[in-house]
Amino acid sequence: MLKLNFHPSGRHYLQIPGPSPVPDRILRAMAQPTIDHRGPEFGALGLKVLADIRKIFQTQHPVVIYPGSGTGAWEAALVNLCNPGDTVVMYETGHFAALWNQLALKLGLKTEVLGLPGGQNWRCGIQADLIEKRLSQDTHHQIKAVCVVHNETSTGVTSNILAVRRAMERAQHPALLLVDTISGLGAADYRHDEWGVDVSMGGSQKGLMLPPGIAFNALSPRAIAASAQSRMPKSYWAWDEMLSMNKSGYFPTTPNTNLLYALSEACDMLLEQGLPLVFTRHQRWANGVRLAVQAWGLPIQCQDPAVYSPILTGVVMPDGVDADQVRQRILERFDCSLGTGLGLVKGRMFRIGHLGDTNDLTLIATLAACEMGMRLCGVPLAGSGVQSAMAFFADHPGA
Ligand SMILES: *Cc1c(COP(=O)(O)O)cnc(C)c1O
């Protein structure tokens, strides 16, 4: 065993917005022996997880499961739908949207990046009317797809996906709607079918409470039809062979068997509880954490309460304070990991994850670590965020 004595005693607080802590129940499920991925036992497991994951995406249509990280889900969607040189519209809501844009450019696609100037959308999410306006101008229907991020993990801002679909309908444009819900899935309400999404991208290590290593593409019938016309080079990511083998619960290449045990367990946990309860649990935690930040007198990165993320909160530091130094201090002194500022907001804010396998006391401890760490770094605080969060959690029992 590698012994670096990082965590001398007690539990590490993994409070980044993914990977999120993995529940013991899931760790135990993963510890089963790896089985023959062409045998009958695997077929039953494959059919179960392929059915369960549809319920999590709230879709009746196929979901493709890859061994891969979320980035693979981005690439898979684009190579299965596009032709070389196609134009896609990207909406810059934050660092992850920007990375997806870079990936599309590396694939040789043309991209058009929409957004308000000066990174304003990093604080308020997507303005669907900008998408409507751009699509209305595209009278020859050159734009193949609109790519948006549902829960921007770099900012703690969500976007209204149904509003995007409605904007596309008003423009009467046939572009496909591609949505990254890699950090939203299993934590924030997400409705693939009802919102008219063509491809939804998911990952294992955030709301699903699994280790990293699974990427998902949830498909619409339109996306499946469009993929038959796509001429982008692809092999590993190709949906066709995957979809035909998945019908009997199997995969073209070796699937990550033990992670699929974990996925099966995670779906059981989420579906036993019921998705509505899972979503309200996250909203309640997010409320408590935001009250704490407000009591500190610090700005929240998201400026529009209508699109606050239920998954994470971005805490903006006063001018002259390096948010990364604060984050580092909290990690070293209190063994609590927080998310770093990414891209435009690097050094300006840190991120508190409140997703998956957490509870009130874990979040109180996390807020205490933040409060002590900021005190150590000389950050002026208006009051105690811990007190506010305790009062909120005590007065608002969960369902
Ligand atoms: C985590 C994340 C990704 C990237 O996933 P990887 O697993 O790191 O490849 C993409 N988009 C969003 C919104 C994410 O939160």
Distance 326 CA to ligand 1 centre (A): 24
- Which residues are 152's β-sheet partners? 157
Structure confidence at residue 232 (pLDDT) = 97
CB 77 within 8 A of CB 183: no
- Judged by phi (left if over 0) then psi (alpha if -120 to 50, else beta), residue 213 lies in left
CB 213 within 8 A of CB 194: no
Structure confidence at residue 1 (pLDDT) = 62
CB 338 within 8 A of CB 289: no
Distance 53 CA to ligand 1 centre (A): 18
- pLDDT band per the 50, 70, 90 thresholds, residue 7: confident
The two tokens of residue 207 are: 């709301």
The two tokens of residue 369 are: 């670590």
How many Cα atoms sit within 13 Å of 57 on the Cβ side?
34
Structure confidence at residue 336 (pLDDT) = 98
Structure confidence at residue 399 (pLDDT) = 72
Q: Which atom of ligand 1 is nearest to the CA of 18?
A: 1
What proportion of the chain, given as a percentage, has pLDDT over 70?
99
Structure confidence at residue 360 (pLDDT) = 98
Q: What is the mean pLDDT of residues 229-248?
A: 98
For 105-139, b where at least 16 C-beta lie within 10 A, e where not — what string?
eebebebeebbeeeeebbbbbbbbebbbebbeeee
The predicted-structure confidence for 192-237, as pLDDT tens digits, reads as follows 999 999 999 999 999 999 999 999 999 999 999 999 999 999 999 9
- Indicate the class that CATH gives domain 24-271: alpha beta
Is residue 331 helix, strand or coil?
A: helix
Look at residue 357 and tell me whether its pLDDT is greater than 80.
Answer: yes
Look at residue 317 and tell me whether its pLDDT is greater than 70.
Answer: yes
The predicted-structure confidence for 127-166, as pLDDT tens digits, reads as follows 999 999 999 999 999 999 999 999 999 999 999 999 999 9
Structure confidence at residue 14 (pLDDT) = 98
What's at 123, amino acid-wise?
Answer: R
CA neighbor of 110 nearest in space, from 70, 68, 138: 138
The two tokens of residue 345 are: 């907001």
The two tokens of residue 139 are: 């009278």
**CB of 70 sitting under 6 A from ligand 1:** yes
Look at residue 187 and tell me whether its pLDDT is greater than 80.
Answer: yes
**CB of 183 sitting under 6 A from ligand 1:** yes
Structure confidence at residue 2 (pLDDT) = 66
The enclosing H or E element of 343 equals none
Distance 312 CA to ligand 1 centre (A): 14
CB 168 within 8 A of CB 33: no
**CB of 182 sitting under 6 A from ligand 1:** yes
**Mean of per-residue pLDDT scores for the chain:** 97
- pLDDT band per the 50, 70, 90 thresholds, residue 398: confident
The two tokens of residue 176 are: 């496909």
Q: Which atom of ligand 1 is nearest to the CA of 151?
A: 13
**CB of 213 sitting under 6 A from ligand 1:** no
Q: What is the mean pLDDT of residues 32-61?
A: 98
Give the span between the Cα atoms of 50 and 63, in whole angstroms: 7
Which residue in this structure is represented by tokens 């999404």? 197
CB 246 within 8 A of CB 42: no
Q: What is the mean pLDDT of residues 249-271?
A: 98
Domain 13-20+274-395 falls in which CATH fold?
Aspartate Aminotransferase, domain 1 (3.90.1150)
Whether this model's pTM surpasses 0.95: yes
**CB of 214 sitting under 6 A from ligand 1:** no
Q: Which atom of ligand 1 is nearest to the CA of 69?
A: 7
Let me know how long the chain is.
Answer: 399
**Phi, psi of 358, deg, nearest 5:** -125, 180
Query: Which of the listed residues 75, 155, 180 should we mutate to test ligand 1's pocket, taking the one with most ligand atoms within 8 A of CB?
Result: 180
Q: Which atom of ligand 1 is nearest to the CA of 74?
A: 10
Distance 183 CA to ligand 1 centre (A): 7
Domain boundaries, given as residue ranges, for the chain: 13-20+274-395, 24-271
